[in-house]
A and B are shown apart, each in its own frame.
Chain A
Amino acid sequence: MSTRVQTQGRLINRNRPVSFKFNGTLMKGYQGDTLASALLANDQMLMGRSFKYHRPRGVVASGSEEPNALVNLGTGNQIEPNQRATTTEIFHGLTATSQNHWPSLEYDVGIVNNVLSRFLSAGFYYKMFIHPRPFWKHIYEPFIRHSAGLGKAPDAEARDEDRYEHFYAFTDVLVIGGGVAGLQSALTAARAGAKVLLLEQTAHLGGRAPVDGGTIDGMTPEAWVEKARAELAAMPNAQIRTRTMGAGVYDHGYVLGYERLTDHAPEVAGPRHRLWRIRAAQIITATGAIERPLSFAGNDIPGVMLASAVRDYLVNYGVSPGDRTVVVTNNDDAYRTAIALVRAGLKVPAILDARPQGGGALMEEAKALGIRVETGSAAVKVKGAKRVHSVCRGVQAGEGEVLEEIFCDAVAMSGGWSPVVHLWSHCGGKLTWDTDQAAFRPDHDRAPTSHDGKPFVITSGAADGAFHLNDVLQNAANAGQAAAGRVGAETGDSAAPSGVAPDEAPLVPVWMMPQGAQKKLRMKAWLDYQNDVKVSDVQLAAQEGFESVEHTKRYTTLGMATDQGKISNINGLATLAKALDAEIPQVGTTTFRPPYTPISMGAIAGEARGEIFQPIRKTPMYDWHDAHGAHWEPVGHWRRPYAFLRSGESVHDAVNREVNATRKSLGLLDASTLGKIIVKGPDAGRFLDMLYTNMMSTLKVGKCRYGLMCSENGFLSDDGVVARIDEDTFLCHTTTGGADRIHAHMEEWLQTEWWDWKVWTVNATEQFAQVAVVGPNARKLLEKLGGMDVSKEALAFMEWKDGELGGFPVRAYRISFSGELSYEIAVPANLGRAFWDKLIEVGKEWDITPYGTEALHIMRAEKGFIMIGDETDGTVIPQDLGLDWAISKKKEDYIGKRAQARSHMTDPKRWKLVGLETLDGSVLQDGAYAIADGVNENGQTNTEGRVTSTYHSPTLNKGIAMGLVLNGPDRMGEVISFTNGDNPAKKARIVGPVFFDPEGEKQNV
C-alpha cells in the first residue's frame, strides 16, 4: 500500500495537518502536500477512471504532465472539472471528487467497455456510427456524449464567484522555469544588467535538482537554490513569480503567464488568477524535461508510475507509493529511485534494465546497496486490477515469455527523458532528433524569430537537452549570457557553478517492451492514458494508411486529451515510425500549441464580468430614463430607451402612447447619441462634397441639409443632417452607431488620400447632450422657456441658431425625423440632465411625453424616412431607396460614385423601395420575402422583394411597412404576397413609402 513514511518530505510541514475530502471521505495531509501526494499518503492509489474503457487509474506523474489523476475540485458555484491532483496544493476544507465513473469510483458500470475493448479499436466511432446517417445526430451522439467526457461542467446557471485580472509586464529577459537552469540563466542575465522576470509554475524553486541530488559549487542543490533566490531577490532588475506558469509564447515576444494566487488558499481575499500579458525582448525557456513511460502490458494499472514521480513523492512529500517497488528502465536515472527507496527503508525486489550491459556508476551504487539488477530484461506484463500485484519478467529481446513473476505493489518505470520543447515550439521553433538521448530537442539554427527577424527564444538546461547537472548549469549560464547580449546588456561572463553528479551510461531506446511483444500484450500496452490509446491502436492506424502523424493523432486521439500527450507523444510517434518502417525524425511531431496546460476561462476574461463585462455607454440623461421606466435597447455600446413604461403598461402600449402624444401635443427624445463631427478648413466644403452624395459646399451658413454617405463600393453607409457653422466649418450629424466609424472614415480619407487638403475634424459627439422637442406644441414649450426667438421667421425649417433657452446656452436645429414641428437642441453634456429636467417640468402643461427609439422608428416610417441598418444592409445603394434627389448630378466625383455606375448597380432589376400595406391591416413580418412564381435551381421558392421595416402605426391604426421590391415603384397598387413564418402568406398592396402627411405640412410651420 501507499503510505506516509517517517522520514523525508522536504516540502511538507508535518506540524501543520490539513484535512480535506475525497469522494466524501475525510482525509488528512500536511501543508505543502499536493492532492496527489496526500491521496497517496491515505493509500488512495485509485484516483480516476479512464476516458474510453473506464479502466481504474492511479497517479502516474508528480507534475503538470499527469494524465490520470484528474478530479472535480470544489462544490456548487466553484466546482471545476479536470483539475490535476498533482498540481493542486491542498488546503483545509478542500473537496475533490473523482471523475468519469458511475455509480462510483470503485464499482463502475462503464468498465464493460474494457471487456469490449478489442472491438473499440482506433477509429471505432468513425466506423461504427457512420450509418445510417440520421442516427448520428439523434441516437449515437447523445448517447456517446452522455457516457463519454471526463469531468462534469459546472451547472449552466452557476456563476463563478471569484475575481480575475490581467497585468501587462515588459521585460528584457523572461525566464520560464525556476529550476536550477532557470535560476542560473536568470542570474547570468541579471548580473549582466538585463531586466529579468522569472516565472515558476509551482510554489517552489529548484525543480528536480533537490530530488536528484549531486552538489553545486560544493553545496546541496537545495542550499544553492536558496542562495540563487536570495541573490535575485536582492537585485533591483530581477523578479521571481512562483505559482505562475508560462502558458504560451506568441508572436513578437508576447507571452501569457498564468498566476494562481489563491487556489492554494481560498480564504485569502483578492483575485484568484492573474493573467500576465508579458512582452519580452528575449525569452529563456528553462522548462526541464518530462520522463517517458515504457510501453509494456498493464503499464496503466494503478501503482505503475514514472520513476521520477516515485522519487518525488518520497523525497518531497515523504510518501511511499508501495512497500515493494520494481524499477523498470532503459537508462541510469531510474536507479536513483531504487537507491532512494532502499535508503528510505523500502524494498526494491529488482531493477529490470532493458540494456544488455546495464548502466554506469548509479548501477554500481544500487548493486552495492544489495539491489538485484537484471540487465537485458523486460517487464512482460504487470498483473493486477485496481492495484499492482506483480511484474512478470522476461527478456527485452524476446516476445514475451515469462521467466519469473515478481510480487510487488508498485512499479517505477522510465523510458528516458524528453525535453519540454513546447514553449520553444509555440511560435515556430523547430526541433532536431537527438539520437543519443532518443528525444527531440530544440534546433538552435531554426529558432522562432521576432519583429526584427532575429531569434527571441533560447532554451536552457534540460529543456535544451542538457541532462547532467554540470551540463545543465553551464548550458543555463550560456543561455543567460546570450539573452543578455541580445538585449544589449553588458555581456557578463558565462561562468557557471560546477555541478557534481555521477556520470551516466547511455540509454537504449525502448519503444515496446519486450521488443517483439505479441498482439495480446500490445493491446494492453498504453501510450496515451487519458484518451486510452494503446500501442495496437497506433499500429492499426498505420496499417489502415494513416501515415501522417497529424492524421494518426486525430484518428486514434493520441495526445488529444487535456494533457495534450505530454508523456505519450514521443512514445506514440516512435510506435508509428516503427509501424511505418520510417525514422522518427521523418515522422515528426504534432504541433505544440499553447497553453502549456489549461488555464481558467476566468483568467482569460480578466476583470470583464458583471458591471464591467463590457463598456455601457450612457447619455447624461441615463439615470432619469432608468428611474422613469426605460425599457433599454442596446444600440452599439449605447443603451437607449426603447420606450418608457408606465406602471402596468406593456411595451406595445407604451410605444403607441408615446407616438400619439407626440403627434398630438409634445414629445421629447434623448438624441444625445447621434454623432456630431466638426469639420473645418478651407477645403472642408470640397471634402464634404466627396464624402456625401449630395452637394454640401453650397450649403449656406446657418442652414442644414440632409446628406447620404456611401462607401467606395457604392453602398449606403450612413446618413444625417449637416449644418454649416461658418464659411470654413461644418457640423456633420451621423447615426448613433456611425459616429466613431464615420469619424474614422473621414480621417482615413484625409490622411491617406487627400493629405494635401486643408481640413481638420474633431468628433464632438459627447460634448453635447441633444434633445429633440417634437410635436405641435414644441414651439410653445421653447417660447415658455424663454430666451432666443424660435419663431418660424427667426428659425425656419432646416436652419440652426445659437442662443439661450431657459438660461441654458443652446444650439437649436430645426430638423425633423418625425414629420412634426421639431427642434433638436444641443447643450453642453454636463448641463444635459438639468436641461432635460427643465423641459419635463415646463412641458407638463402640454403633457410632455418622453419617447423611445421605437416611437422614433414608427414616426420616421410613417413619414417614409429610411433608417440605416433597416433599409440598408451593406448591399443597398441610395438609388435603390429612391433617394436620387439626394445624389448630386453636378458633382464630378464623390466616394461611391464610380461604383454606382457599375453594371450591376444600374441594373433595372435591382429591388427598389416602396411602401406596403397589408390588405387586412395586420403587420408584416420583419424581413419577410415577397413570393414570386416558380422555384430556383435549388428548389427554393423564388422571391421578388423583402420587408425592410414594419410596424403597427398608431397614427393610422394599421400595419405599415417599407420594403425593396422588384420594379416596385412601377407597380403601385399591385397586391403581392409575403412570407409569414409557418403561417399562410400575407397579401400586401404596393404603395408610396410616405404614409403620413406627404406634403410635409406639419413639420414646416
Chain B
Amino acid sequence: MLLINCPYCGVAAEETELHAGGEAHLKRFGPDSSDDDFTGYLFHRENPKGVHFERWRHVNGCGKWFHAARCTNTLEVFGTYKAQTTEPPKDILDTIRAKRPGFNWRDIA
C-alpha cells in the first residue's frame, strides 16, 4: 500500500487516506476549442511504464489536491508538490533526471 507525503499538511499518508485523481497538468479546453483539442483534454492520457505525474487528494485528511511524481513500475515517489501549478517544479525534475537518465513525459525530457 502506497505511502505518499501530502505537501500541504506534511502527513506521510497511506493510500486509504488518499484519492487518486489521474494524470496531472491537463490543460482545460472550453467551448471554443477544436474537436481535437477537446478530445485530447477529455480522453487522451499518458500511460507510461515509468515516471508519471499524477493528481492525488488527501481526502481523509486536509482535503487538498496535490501532485506526485511517481514511477508506475517501481512505485518510487520522486516528490510531491502543490496542485496550483501548470508544470512540475524544477527541483523534482532534477531529482528525476538524476535518477532516471533519458526520462521523458509528454514534452518534458
State the A residues within 8 Å of B (CB). Answer: 250-254, 279, 449-453, 712-713, 744, 747-748, 751-753, 755, 892-893, 897-899, 901-902
Closest 8 CB pairs of A and B: A453-B76, A252-B3, A254-B1, A755-B84, A751-B65, A451-B77, A752-B83, A893-B30
CB distance from A486 to the nearest CB of B (A): 16
- Measured between beta carbons, the chain B residues less than 8 angstroms from A902 are 35, 38
B29 at the interface (CB under 8 A from A): yes
Q: How far is the CA of A752 from the CA of B66 in the complex (A)?
A: 8
B94 at the interface (CB under 8 A from A): no
Query: Which residue of chain B lies nearest to A453 when distances are taken between CB atoms in the complex?
Result: B76
Query: Which residue of chain B lies nearest to A747 when distances are taken between CB atoms in the complex?
Result: B63
Find A898's partner among B30, B63, B75 (CB 8 Å cutoff): B30
Contact mask for chain B residues 50-86; partner A; CB cutoff 8 A; 1 contact, 0 none: 0000010101000111000001001111000001100
Q: How far is the CA of A893 from the CA of B28 in the complex (A)?
A: 12
> What are 17 A-B contacts with C-beta separation under 8 Å?
A251-B1, A251-B75, A252-B3, A252-B75, A449-B76, A451-B2, A451-B4, A451-B75, A451-B77, A452-B76, A747-B65, A748-B65, A752-B84, A893-B30, A898-B38, A899-B42, A902-B38
B31 at the interface (CB under 8 A from A): yes
Find A253's partner among B3, B29, B33 (CB 8 Å cutoff): B3
B99 at the interface (CB under 8 A from A): yes
- Measured between beta carbons, the chain B residues less than 8 angstroms from A713 are 42
Q: How far is the CA of A672 from the CA of B76 in the complex (A)?
A: 45
Q: What's the count of A-B pairs with C-beta under 8 Å?
A: 67
Q: How far is the CA of A250 from the CA of B77 in the complex (A)?
A: 15
- Measured between beta carbons, the chain B residues less than 8 angstroms from A712 are 42
Given known contacts A452-B76, A898-B29, A751 and B1 CB-to-CB distance under 8 angstroms: no
Most central of B4, B30, B38, B64 by chain A CB within 10 Å: B30
Query: Which residue of chain A lies nearest to B19 when distances are taken between CB atoms in the complex?
Result: A744
CB distance from B41 to the nearest CB of A (A): 8
Given known contacts A253-B3, A451-B4, A453-B76, A898 and B31 CB-to-CB distance under 8 angstroms: yes
Query: Which residue of chain A lies nearest to B8 when distances are taken between CB atoms in the complex?
Result: A751
- Measured between beta carbons, the chain A residues less than 8 angstroms from B2 are 251-252, 451
Query: Which residue of chain B lies nearest to A891 when distances are taken between CB atoms in the complex?
Result: B31
CB distance from B95 to the nearest CB of A (A): 10
Given known contacts A899-B42, A901-B31, A751 and B77 CB-to-CB distance under 8 angstroms: no
Find A755's partner among B3, B4, B83, B99 (CB 8 Å cutoff): B83
Is B31 touching A897 in the complex (CB atoms < 8 A)? yes
Q: How far is the CA of A892 from the CA of B30 in the complex (A)?
A: 9
- Measured between beta carbons, the chain A residues less than 8 angstroms from B46 are none
Is B30 touching A897 in the complex (CB atoms < 8 A)? yes
- Measured between beta carbons, the chain A residues less than 8 angstroms from B3 are 251-254, 279, 451
- Measured between beta carbons, the chain B residues less than 8 angstroms from A751 are 64-65, 83-84
Given contacts A254-B1, A449-B76, A899-B42, 14 further A-B contacts (CB under 8 A): A251-B2, A252-B2, A252-B75, A254-B14, A451-B2, A451-B3, A453-B71, A453-B99, A744-B57, A751-B84, A752-B83, A893-B30, A899-B38, A901-B31
Q: How far is the CA of A251 from the CA of B15 in the complex (A)?
A: 10
- Measured between beta carbons, the chain A residues less than 8 angstroms from B83 are 751-752, 755
Query: Which residue of chain A lies nearest to B43 when distances are taken between CB atoms in the complex?
Result: A713
Q: How far is the CA of A279 from the CA of B16 in the complex (A)?
A: 13
Is A449 touching B42 in the complex (CB atoms < 8 A)? no
Q: How far is the CA of A712 from the CA of B28 in the complex (A)?
A: 10
Is B65 touching A752 in the complex (CB atoms < 8 A)? yes
Given known contacts A254-B3, A279-B14, A453 and B55 CB-to-CB distance under 8 angstroms: no
Residues of B1-52 contacting chain A, CB below 8 A: 1-4, 14, 21, 28-31, 33, 35, 38, 42
Query: Which residue of chain B lies nearest to A449 when distances are taken between CB atoms in the complex?
Result: B74
- Measured between beta carbons, the chain A residues less than 8 angstroms from B1 are 250-252, 254
CB distance from A262 to the nearest CB of B (A): 28
Per the CB 8 Å criterion, the residue count for chain B at the interface is 28
CB distance from A456 to the nearest CB of B (A): 11
Q: How far is the CA of A451 from the CA of B14 in the complex (A)?
A: 11
CB distance from A691 to the nearest CB of B (A): 14
Most central of A453, A712, A755, A901 by chain B CB within 10 Å: A453
- Measured between beta carbons, the chain A residues less than 8 angstroms from B77 are 451-452
Q: How far is the CA of A453 from the CA of B65 in the complex (A)?
A: 24
Query: Which residue of chain B lies nearest to A748 when distances are taken between CB atoms in the complex?
Result: B65
Query: Which residue of chain A lies nearest to B95 when distances are taken between CB atoms in the complex?
Result: A453
CB distance from A253 to the nearest CB of B (A): 7
CB distance from B31 to the nearest CB of A (A): 5
Find B59's partner among A453, A744, A893 (CB 8 Å cutoff): A744
- Measured between beta carbons, the chain A residues less than 8 angstroms from B33 are 898
CB distance from A471 to the nearest CB of B (A): 32
CB distance from A935 to the nearest CB of B (A): 32
- Measured between beta carbons, the chain A residues less than 8 angstroms from B14 are 254, 279
- Measured between beta carbons, the chain B residues less than 8 angstroms from A901 are 31
Query: Which residue of chain A lies nearest to B77 when distances are taken between CB atoms in the complex?
Result: A451
Find A748's partner among B29, B31, B57 (CB 8 Å cutoff): B57
Query: Which residue of chain B lies nearest to A452 when distances are taken between CB atoms in the complex?
Result: B76
CB distance from A251 to the nearest CB of B (A): 5
Query: Which residue of chain B lies nearest to A743 when distances are taken between CB atoms in the complex?
Result: B63
Q: How far is the CA of A713 from the CA of B75 in the complex (A)?
A: 30
CB distance from B92 to the nearest CB of A (A): 14
Q: How far is the CA of A204 from the CA of B64 in the complex (A)?
A: 47
Q: How far is the CA of A936 from the CA of B9 in the complex (A)?
A: 56
Is B31 touching A893 in the complex (CB atoms < 8 A)? yes
- Measured between beta carbons, the chain A residues less than 8 angstroms from B75 are 251-252, 449, 451
Query: Which residue of chain A lies nearest to B37 when distances are taken between CB atoms in the complex?
Result: A898
Q: How far is the CA of A705 from the CA of B30 in the complex (A)?
A: 25
- Measured between beta carbons, the chain A residues less than 8 angstroms from B38 are 898-899, 902
CB distance from A763 to the nearest CB of B (A): 10
- Measured between beta carbons, the chain B residues less than 8 angstroms from A451 are 2-4, 75-77
- Measured between beta carbons, the chain B residues less than 8 angstroms from A753 are 28
- Measured between beta carbons, the chain B residues less than 8 angstroms from A251 are 1-3, 75
- Measured between beta carbons, the chain B residues less than 8 angstroms from A899 are 38, 42
CB distance from B78 to the nearest CB of A (A): 8
CB distance from A895 to the nearest CB of B (A): 9
Query: Which residue of chain B lies nearest to A898 when distances are taken between CB atoms in the complex?
Result: B31
Query: Which residue of chain B lies nearest to A894 when distances are taken between CB atoms in the complex?
Result: B31
Query: Which residue of chain B lies nearest to A892 when distances are taken between CB atoms in the complex?
Result: B31
Q: How far is the CA of A253 from the CA of B3 in the complex (A)?
A: 9
Query: Which residue of chain A lies nearest to B84 when distances are taken between CB atoms in the complex?
Result: A755
- Measured between beta carbons, the chain A residues less than 8 angstroms from B31 are 892-893, 897-898, 901
Q: How far is the CA of A898 from the CA of B43 in the complex (A)?
A: 14
- Measured between beta carbons, the chain A residues less than 8 angstroms from B35 are 902
Most central of A253, A713, A748, A892 by chain B CB within 10 Å: A748
Is B55 touching A752 in the complex (CB atoms < 8 A)? yes
CB distance from A880 to the nearest CB of B (A): 19
- Measured between beta carbons, the chain A residues less than 8 angstroms from B84 are 751-752, 755
Q: How far is the CA of A450 from the CA of B55 in the complex (A)?
A: 20
Query: Which residue of chain A lies nearest to B16 when distances are taken between CB atoms in the complex?
Result: A277
Contact mask for chain B residues 82-106; partner A; CB cutoff 8 A; 1 contact, 0 none: 0110000000000000010000000
CB distance from A255 to the nearest CB of B (A): 10
Q: How far is the CA of A892 from the CA of B31 in the complex (A)?
A: 7
Most central of A752, A898, A899 by chain B CB within 10 Å: A752
- Measured between beta carbons, the chain A residues less than 8 angstroms from B55 are 752
Q: How far is the CA of A898 from the CA of B83 in the complex (A)?
A: 24
Q: How far is the CA of A250 from the CA of B3 in the complex (A)?
A: 11
CB distance from B12 to the nearest CB of A (A): 8
Q: How far is the CA of A452 from the CA of B64 in the complex (A)?
A: 23
CB distance from B14 to the nearest CB of A (A): 7
Query: Which residue of chain A lies nearest to B5 when distances are taken between CB atoms in the complex?
Result: A451
Q: How far is the CA of A751 from the CA of B55 in the complex (A)?
A: 11
- Measured between beta carbons, the chain B residues less than 8 angstroms from A748 are 21, 57, 65
CB distance from A908 to the nearest CB of B (A): 19
Q: How far is the CA of A449 from the CA of B55 in the complex (A)?
A: 22
- Measured between beta carbons, the chain B residues less than 8 angstroms from A897 are 30-31
CB distance from A278 to the nearest CB of B (A): 11
Q: How far is the CA of A713 from the CA of B29 in the complex (A)?
A: 12
CB distance from B105 to the nearest CB of A (A): 17
Most central of B28, B29, B83, B99 by chain A CB within 10 Å: B28
